[in-house]
Structure formats: structure tokens, C-alpha cells
Amino acid sequence: MNILDQVTMDYRRDDIPEFKVGDTLRVHVK
């Protein structure tokens, strides 16, 4: 595991539900 993988793991969210082809997603951008 390199340093980039370790940093990415720290910010990974586990509360995002799985989605499939055809699902509608809402994206909020600031």
C-alpha cells in the first residue's frame, strides 16, 4: 500500500448506498 492509497482510505465514505445502471443520482456541487 502506498501513501496515496492510505490517504484515500482515510476519506472514504461507507454510508453511500450501492447504485446500478439506470439509477438517478443527485449531485450537489459548490
pLDDT tens digits in sequence order for the chain, 30 residues long: 688 888 887 777 777 778 888 888 888 998
Check residue 15 and give its pLDDT: 78
Residue whose C-alpha cell reads 459548490 in the numeric block: 30
Q: What stretches of the chain show up as alpha helix (H) in DSSP?
A: 3-10
pLDDT at 7: 82
CA distance 10 to 27: 22
Q: Measured between alpha carbons, how far is 30 from 13 in angstroms, rounded to an integer? A: 19
Show the cell assigned to 16.
Answer: 453511500
Distance CA 5, CA 17 (A): 22
pLDDT confidence of residue 30: 87
Q: What is the pLDDT of residue 29?
A: 92
